[in-house]
Amino acid sequence: MSTSKTDDLLLLHLNEAIATIRDKEELFQIIARKLRLIFPFDMMGISIFDEELLNKRLFFKSYTTPSQPVPVPADLVSFTPIAGSPVELLLQDPRIQHIELQDYVRQYADFEPFQRLLRQGIQHMTMVPMWLNGHLTGYLILATARPPAYSAADEQLLEKITSLVAVAVRNTLDFEEVARREQQRTLQLNVTNALLSIKQREPLFRAIAEELTQVVPFDYFGIRVQRPGERPAFEGFAEFARPDDPSGALLALDPQRHQPAQQQEITAMYQQVGGLLQAAGLYAGDDFRQLAVRYPAMRYAYDEHHVRAMLVVPIWQRAEGAAVLLLASPSANGFTASSLATVQSLVPQITLALENLFAFEQIEELKAQVEQERTYLMDEINTDRPAADGLIGSSPALRQVRQRIGQVAGTDATVLITGETGTGKEVVARALHHASPRQARALVKINCAALPAQLIESELFGHEKGAFTGAVERRIGKFELADGGTIFLDEVGELPLDLQAKLLRVLQEKEFERLGGNRVLHTDARVLAATNRVLEDEVRAGRFRADLYYRLNVFPIQLAPLRERPQDIAPLVQHYLGSLSKRLARPVRAVRPADLAALQAYPWPGNIRELEHVLEQAIIVSQGQWLEFGGFMAAPVLRALPAAPVATAPAPEAPTPPTDDHAPLKTLREQERDHILLALRRTGGRVSGTQGAAALLDINPKTLEARMKKLGIRRTVVAD
């Protein structure tokens, strides 16, 4: 087949090619062309072994006819075991061998590569061992449809050529390893730079994904992290997909793209597949199909996203949580063993990126929490509390409240404070907090009736950036802010029914989610609630959840109205005279005994808040030695009492009060009824609204309606 001169020339050309050409494909195509000049073959292949001669891999493959398939099968791209394949026979006698495929196929019927060669018409193979420094590194394979005819000289030439091929293969592998390491270092540097400059989740994960796609092509990218305190499933922190245009940028997948039922199902899927995600792995072709049969999560990816190959790389596995990186491709040949090694080499950088990201987020959250706590603490400092517990008076009703506070303050029990508007429910809540072990942390207050229904959830639980129009940044909710402290829910009876269910979850499970977020947060906040409504009636009317009522009503504290504890009015007057005079920059004036008696006899439908407002008005208008109450003392109910003379004329419709000191006095109930009737007559029977009797009396409309019902007052009677 050859001559000595031709042989020497061939060897010279091969040496030159090996010394000068670095591109693997170009180099071995030249080797294949040179060999065809001397040896006829239909296919040339190079199979290489690992150091231990336990695994094999197809390194190069070339066909003579261009019409024949060139792509390398997926099962030959990565290393596969030698045991159980025809190669184990070659290792028993490593020399040039001429084999017939039919003989091997009969012995290894399941060896698919030989079956494919037979289907392509290949019947014979010449196997030439590759030696390098006395070590077997692989085989050069020449395959033909017809029986080959090699002389002893031809076999000697083949051995010389194969020794050069062995050097070329080693050089190529070394060059690829150097290039791979350089690529990894560049990638690691880029990822490190990204984590140093990017402190937000999506931009950081997008940067990692964009860098990875430069070296490991993929269609789907995901990082799933389970953090301490979250539900036992992998929460999607970042997922990207490549659009139909391969040149386009990665598109972020919407974490809310599934319906709630689908979200729960997928979460359950990842709970099932959790064990699989604890080890690095490459699953492609039949391997991934088997996973799709075994695990619903993989079947979902197989059916819905047409995934046929997946890389799984754990980032960390710790007692407090786990993190895993997933890459997926619709091609069974999408990933190789080197792809897996490349991604694994980035685990330290990705770990550092995640830990820095979470640390930065925690710092930002704590910073916002400290700032808000500071606001609340400053509010508490500026709140005037004359007594140790802030409660003023010594009536039996107030003594009972103090006793109830002392009984429950040292526990974490939920307390429901009830009473009419203005009876001091917030003062009781503050006294409970300051008598509890949580006094060093903030008392966070929220008025459930002061906010629109659509904003209450955000106030209670917080929201993520972009959760709704106007949510330009993440906001910490009151429950998150009150962690370790106390949260006071004033007017809890005003909560909408849908929020009542979420509040019930917090009371039961101590967990919640920010609006627009999917991360489960926990809170150790002690809950105090207050309402001026009769919640039993609200439950019967279907406006308040019964289960929430029972959760709130663990330890009830009922506040008596001011009319039932008149002996507390004098110390209240002295307290407010001091604090209000100081705030209004007015001198402290004395109260006439007759005026104090009138104040004590007045029913005070607005309770302590109404008393405070009356005193504030009197401080503003007074000029002399005594506190002047002006038009307030001219009210019919008060003028029926032995009050000091005032300079204000009675209202036109007011009845003439009795002047006889011995005339019988009306009861407090009768006086309160007359006062409410007068207000209703002035407003034409209207109760609520800016022109209603409730606004005139400065009390809550619901409280006024409750008093009217108790006193037997009907609007129709007033209107008539």
User: Structural domains in the chain?
Assistant: 4-177 (3.30.450.40), 198-359 (3.30.450.80), 383-560 (3.40.50.300), 564-655 (1.10.8.60), 666-720 (no CATH)
Please name which of 585, 590, 558 lies closest in space to residue 573, comparing C-alpha atoms. 590
Which residues, in sequence order, are bridge partners of residue 281? 312
Q: How far apart are CA 177 and CA 527, in angstroms?
A: 62
Q: What b/e sequence results for 593-606 when a residue is b if at least 16 CB atoms lie within 10 Å of its CB, and e otherwise?
A: eebbbbbbbbbbbb
Q: How far apart are CA 99 and CA 372, in angstroms?
A: 82
- Residue 330 identity (one-letter amino acid): P
What would the two tokens of residue 377 be?
Answer: 């603490």
CA 675 vs CA 39, 602, 605, 667: distances in Å: 120, 10, 9, 12
SS3 80: strand
Q: What share of the chain is helix, strand, coil (3-state, %, to 5)?
A: 50, 15, 35
Q: Cβ neighbours of residue 696 under 8 Å, at least 6 residues apart? A: 679, 682, 683
Which residues, in sequence order, are bridge partners of residue 49? 56
- In this prediction, the residues of the chain whose per-residue pLDDT falls under 70 are 1-5, 64-78, 191, 194-197, 226-276, 319-321, 369, 372-389, 630-666, 715-720
- Chain centroid offset of residue 523 CA: 15
| Matching residue, tokens 């007033």 | 718
CB 525 within 8 A of CB 487: yes
pLDDT at 379: 60
Q: What b/e sequence results for 174-184 when a residue is b if at least 16 CB atoms lie within 10 Å of its CB, and e otherwise?
A: eeeeeeeeeeb
Please name which of 663, 662, 637, 661 lies closest in space to residue 650, comparing C-alpha atoms. 637
Please name which of 340, 336, 307 lies closest in space to residue 72, comparing C-alpha atoms. 336
pLDDT at 651: 37
DSSP 153-185: HHHHHHHHHHHHHHHHHHHHHHHHHHHHHHHHH
Q: How many residues in the chain? A: 720
pLDDT at 388: 54
pLDDT at 234: 40
**Radius of gyration (C-alpha) of the chain in whole angstroms:** 43
Please name which of 593, 614, 630, 637 lies closest in space to residue 698, comparing C-alpha atoms. 614
